Structures are given as C-alpha cells and as structure tokens.
Amino acid sequence: MALFGKKKNKGLLPEPIDPRWVHGEGGRFPRFLGLDPEAAGLKNSQGVFAIWHTGLRPAWVYIGWSTDLAADFFRLGDDPRILEHRNKGNLYCSWSPIRKELHKGVVTYLTTVLRPIVENPEVPDAKYVDLVPVLPPGMTKEQLEALAPPESERKPVSII
C-alpha cells in the first residue's frame, strides 16, 4: 500500500467468495420495508448490505456498508430514492457481517458489477481501493459471470 496517492499493486481479481448473506424465515431474503432492524438484532451491527427489487425488471437498488445496520436501514427506509422502487416489485435486502476493513473493497466491487440504481456517494472510485470480489445475494458464480462483458471485450482488472 502506498502511503500517499494511488495504490501501486496490480493484478487480476481473485474468484468471488460467498460472504454468507443473511436470509430470513424459510431461507428467503427479508423484505426491506417489512424488516424491523432492531428486532433482527442489527442495532450496532456492522457489515455490507444490498437492497434490490423484484418484478418484471428486477434491479439492484442500493449497495452500502454500515457500522450500525439498524440505523442505516431505518434511514434508507425513509429515503425517497429507495422508496420510489417499491412499486416496481417487492424491495428485498440482505447483509453480511464482513470485516470493517474490507467494507469499501466489497461495496466498490459490488457497485461496479451490479450498477445499482441509487448512487451511494460514499463508494470510492475503484482506482483507489483494493476490490474484494464477493457473490451478490442470491447469485451463483455463473450468474455473476453472465453480467460480465463478452470475453472479447474483457481486460485484466488492475487493482490500483
């Protein structure tokens, strides 16, 4: 790691790992607007989270990290940028208690790959963080690879 400016280490990204996203009852992901974050034990819990909607055109809505998931879920539950997607299909969420020092790398990776509708202004540019590849909630490696550009358009990814 460089002390000043950009990071100098370069290389191909490792295979994405499964961060064991939290599921709700019956193995299904919790509905975002029906979740009581405090009852779920998320007060003062840290981790990475994703919000998405289902429907005719499912989409990733928001990706973030938090040191207090309950507080951030309550805040985002009132955010009109998130709420405008509730009529497009059910809003779902999941989180993973990923170590704090990996939050930015995981969220930057997921944001780059999934391109959520609502921008998270805290996500750093991929040039300035070591990306940490993880599987998104409910996705397999094969499904994640389907989001990638065709082989002919792929270039090695540098971690700068």
* DSSP H or E run through 145: helix 141-146
pLDDT higher than threshold 60 for residue 81: yes
Coil, strand, or helix at residue 43?
A: coil
Cα–Cα distances in angstroms (integers) from residue 145 to residues 13, 15, 46, 59, 149, in the given order: 13, 11, 28, 16, 8
Total-model pTM: 0.84
pLDDT higher than threshold 60 for residue 157: no
Q: What is the pLDDT of residue 145?
A: 86
Structural domains of the chain, with CATH: 28-135 (3.40.1440.10)
Q: What's the pLDDT tens digit per position in 25-41?
A: 889 999 999 999 999 99
The contacts of residue 93 (CB under 8 Å, 6+ apart) are: 29, 30, 31, 32, 35, 49, 50, 51, 52, 73
